[in-house]
Chains A and B, each alone.
Chain A
């Protein structure tokens, strides 16, 4: 058997022994030397747990209920801790989702990158540092000789992610587990990191497990794909077979989830509800928005897209009244709008509402849903007693939630349900203009699609005007009427959705669109040959 890794009947559980939460319910996985296996599934499917278990690592509070993980002939789950530790970093290594959180803020990069070879006595300090510099340059990091002297906070997220891949490579391990390594990155950065990871894996003949919720990304990286759901393997097949002919219904539903499109044929854009002229904003002395001119058409969805740091959220803060602009004016229905929150009348406060990215942190965990919704209803519409009660129930109907959930707290709801409560809370004020800040980014694709359908329906029913902030261009394509592209605080292009997507004029827009992974295993190769100048 040339098998490097053989997982058989692996079951993991957590929580009380009598009624445990079953994280993995008996999975089998095989990996050959030099092979890349993609693990795909929604959150809670057990991908990360399986990836860590492949290294013999289970997190605190998690127990092995059954099964074995055989790596190179040794059962990792039954090795004494010291022996396992000698494998970690040496023969098995890990690349985590957030490089910013996975590098120790107190130490220089080079010391962290060379820690494993020094501890495992693979190389002397000097040799390890020279090797790290070589790996840095192979990962296309700028200034490979000098970047190691920096601390993590001095290096961008995309560069850190590449440095972490270099760190995983230092001992030339037999297996690397990549756990969503590009999920936190912008698309244009993601494409560079994906390319660098694939080159490195190919060059060193390393076997890898590549975990992602994004099928299009996995399709670029993996030789075989394994789809997981609820702690079980749904199906496993070579990448092309899996993309062209998935056998299971669940796999097909994952594949088709990106097919949602707002129904076409709407009337031409009406007059703008809100218009900005020369809007300029700054945090202290750092100017973030530079003279933006924009308009949000009444009853339409305008998507604001751009990478992190482009000023999307700052624009939302300006319109919400949280950050008064330095210059420029905003006109609401023909009248100048008060930009300082404290001076806004209740009318303006009521008409501008927000839905947040993370419903987890935007809802008070100690309040029941009824209280979360009643407060804005009372505050903005003055309803009391039975009328208040009726309105709260109606809001639950509008966001398609069971009224029985009113007495629950946010912690007892699923991610999608919580986001619906967030939407209902915004609707409670009976607003005209709703700022949606990355409202689907934290959700699984199937759940996100449900939220998008809900928002489109609400817009048609209530005539809402949406400002839709997102970095996810597939979402934009699905629901936007109008698109504003921001780069470094300037609008580089704006127009109708089809114009932007089919006839992008500005090079930045083109690069942004070209960087969105497609469900085609050759996409990365083509995208890179077309556009391989380093941008970092």
Chain B
């Protein structure tokens, strides 16, 4: 087995271990929530017998480690339990919401990542020019405003005043992809404005950091154009930090969009989580938490693996 294969496998194993640790923490956290779940759901007027029966039905009379192992076993079989509120299987509730969230995140990412990396490269190429300052200023202004504020501004101008886009992002795949993209444009744009600055500035910084290397001076002295210096000589050596910041922002697009979903009443995972927390629907809270953790860990592991593969020292041993 080559060095890089060992490293990649090690990183994957570490990711799984992290996911396991997160599931444990999450379970313990919910365990420490104050109050008795069965009592709360049934209300104050329930008789102790009813409460006890309900506890037995939910399995709450079992010791915590048994319940954790039960739950973990269910997860491994793809069974996340049933919702306490509706009694329907959690997987049925989460499935369409996850698809919606991934759709919105993918929509935003497909525009934001190329835009941010492109702007970052151009800012590095023309650094300390008006373009560089303008791009930095614009990106920083966008990130400095809270996302709900950006969302309301966009609604005010693009929806209410200009009437270009709907205020509510009701998604209906049946009416075709163009309609779906149109309906979700405002939440996607909000997310783009929030994530571009971070990725752009990191790209610019990573490239400028590499530009100080002797091999960049060497490339210039070979008569290589500035654009080629940035794209061919600097970018491959700056990939690791760029990939990492991109992964971080992709993860944010999936797990951090609760506010945007609420503003546009978009039926995504974040909304589901908020509703489940307020109705104490613990199986859903646990399941959504696990999905978020898995997304976060997977993207970070992928970024790590991509940086390893981008490094010729690891790709080709000496």
Chain B residues whose C-beta falls within 8 Å of the C-beta of A102 in the assembled complex: 214-215, 217-218
**Given A106-B237, A153-B313; A88-B215 close (CB under 8 Å):** no
Tell me which of B215, B224, B233 has the highest count of chain A C-beta atoms within 10 A of its own C-beta: B215
Q: Is residue B6 within 8 Å, beta carbon to beta carbon, of the partner chain?
A: no
User: A300 to B217, alpha carbons, bound, how many Å?
Assistant: 46
Contact across chains for B312 and A153 when beta carbons are under 8 A apart: yes
Contact across chains for B221 and A57 when beta carbons are under 8 A apart: yes
User: A85 to B225, alpha carbons, bound, how many Å?
Assistant: 7
Q: Is residue B170 within 8 Å, beta carbon to beta carbon, of the partner chain?
A: no
Contact across chains for B221 and A55 when beta carbons are under 8 A apart: yes
**Given A94-B218, A96-B218, A153-B318; A104-B233 close (CB under 8 Å):** yes
Q: Is residue A344 within 8 Å, beta carbon to beta carbon, of the partner chain?
A: no
**Given A105-B313, A151-B312; A119-B213 close (CB under 8 Å):** no
Contact across chains for B222 and A105 when beta carbons are under 8 A apart: no
User: A105 to B228, alpha carbons, bound, how many Å?
Assistant: 16
Give B2 Cβ to nearest chain A Cβ, in Å.
Answer: 14
Contact across chains for A119 and B220 when beta carbons are under 8 A apart: no
**Given A101-B214, A104-B215, A104-B237; A93-B221 close (CB under 8 Å):** yes
Nearest opposing residue in chain B for A81, CB measure: B226
Contact across chains for A120 and B223 when beta carbons are under 8 A apart: yes
User: A107 to B217, alpha carbons, bound, how many Å?
Assistant: 16
Q: Which of A59, A90, A101, A153 contacts B213 (CB 8 A)?
A: A101
User: A104 to B229, alpha carbons, bound, how many Å?
Assistant: 11
Contact across chains for B221 and A98 when beta carbons are under 8 A apart: no
Chain A residues whose C-beta falls within 8 Å of the C-beta of B258 in the assembled complex: none
Q: Which of B222, B237, B312 contacts A89 (CB 8 A)?
A: B222
**Given A94-B218, A154-B318; A105-B224 close (CB under 8 Å):** no
User: A98 to B217, alpha carbons, bound, how many Å?
Assistant: 12
Give B4 Cβ to nearest chain A Cβ, in Å.
Answer: 13
Chain A residues whose C-beta falls within 8 Å of the C-beta of B318 in the assembled complex: 153-154
Nearest opposing residue in chain B for A57, CB measure: B221
User: A92 to B222, alpha carbons, bound, how many Å?
Assistant: 8
Interface residues of B in 176-206 (CB under 8 A from A): none
Q: Interface code A82-121, partner B: CB below 8 Å = 1, 0 otherwise?
A: 0001111110111010100111111100000001100110
Contact across chains for B223 and A90 when beta carbons are under 8 A apart: yes
Q: Interface code A127-155, partner B: CB below 8 Å = 1, 0 otherwise?
A: 00000000000000000000000110110
Q: Is residue B236 within 8 Å, beta carbon to beta carbon, of the partner chain?
A: yes
Contact across chains for B215 and A115 when beta carbons are under 8 A apart: no
User: A93 to B233, alpha carbons, bound, how many Å?
Assistant: 18
Nearest opposing residue in chain B for A100, CB measure: B214
Q: Please tell me the number of chain B residues within 8 Å of chain A, measured between CB atoms.
A: 22
Chain B residues whose C-beta falls within 8 Å of the C-beta of A103 in the assembled complex: 215, 218
Q: Please tell me the number of chain A residues within 8 Å of chain B, measured between CB atoms.
A: 30
Chain A residues whose C-beta falls within 8 Å of the C-beta of B222 in the assembled complex: 88-89, 93, 115-116, 119, 167
Chain A residues whose C-beta falls within 8 Å of the C-beta of B213 in the assembled complex: 101
Contact across chains for A101 and B215 when beta carbons are under 8 A apart: yes
User: A222 to B237, alpha carbons, bound, how many Å?
Assistant: 37
Give A79 Cβ to nearest chain B Cβ, in Å.
Answer: 12
Give B314 Cβ to nearest chain A Cβ, in Å.
Answer: 10
User: A365 to B108, alpha carbons, bound, how many Å?
Assistant: 45
Q: Which of B214, B223, B233 contacts A87 (CB 8 A)?
A: B223
Give B132 Cβ to nearest chain A Cβ, in Å.
Answer: 15
User: A96 to B220, alpha carbons, bound, how many Å?
Assistant: 13
User: A260 to B193, alpha carbons, bound, how many Å?
Assistant: 68
Nearest opposing residue in chain B for A85, CB measure: B223
Interface residues of A in 179-226 (CB under 8 A from B): none
Chain A residues whose C-beta falls within 8 Å of the C-beta of B232 in the assembled complex: 107
Contact across chains for A89 and B221 when beta carbons are under 8 A apart: yes
**Given A96-B214, A106-B312; A119-B237 close (CB under 8 Å):** no
User: A89 to B218, alpha carbons, bound, how many Å?
Assistant: 9
Chain B residues whose C-beta falls within 8 Å of the C-beta of A92 in the assembled complex: 221
Chain B residues whose C-beta falls within 8 Å of the C-beta of A86 in the assembled complex: 223
Chain A residues whose C-beta falls within 8 Å of the C-beta of B217 in the assembled complex: 59, 96, 102
Chain A residues whose C-beta falls within 8 Å of the C-beta of B214 in the assembled complex: 96, 98, 101-102
Contact across chains for B312 and A119 when beta carbons are under 8 A apart: no
Q: Is residue B161 within 8 Å, beta carbon to beta carbon, of the partner chain?
A: no
Give B309 Cβ to nearest chain A Cβ, in Å.
Answer: 12
Chain B residues whose C-beta falls within 8 Å of the C-beta of A104 in the assembled complex: 215, 218-219, 233, 236-237
Give A58 Cβ to nearest chain B Cβ, in Å.
Answer: 11
Q: Is residue B316 within 8 Å, beta carbon to beta carbon, of the partner chain?
A: yes
Give B231 Cβ to nearest chain A Cβ, in Å.
Answer: 12
Give A91 Cβ to nearest chain B Cβ, in Å.
Answer: 9
User: A85 to B229, alpha carbons, bound, how many Å?
Assistant: 12
Contact across chains for B221 and A88 when beta carbons are under 8 A apart: yes
User: A421 to B313, alpha carbons, bound, how many Å?
Assistant: 38
User: A137 to B243, alpha carbons, bound, how many Å?
Assistant: 39
Interface residues of B in 232-263 (CB under 8 A from A): 232-233, 236-237
Can you list 18 residue pairs at the A/B interface with Cβ under 8 Å? A55-B221, A57-B220, A59-B217, A89-B223, A90-B223, A92-B221, A94-B218, A96-B217, A98-B214, A101-B215, A102-B215, A105-B312, A106-B233, A106-B310, A119-B223, A119-B224, A120-B223, A167-B222
19 further A-B contacts with Cβ under 8 Å, apart from A93-B221, A103-B215, are: A55-B221, A57-B220, A85-B223, A85-B225, A88-B223, A90-B223, A96-B217, A106-B310, A107-B232, A107-B233, A115-B219, A115-B222, A116-B222, A119-B222, A119-B224, A119-B228, A153-B318, A154-B316, A167-B222
Which 4 A-B pairs have CB atoms at the shortest separation, nearest pair first? A89-B222, A89-B223, A106-B236, A88-B223
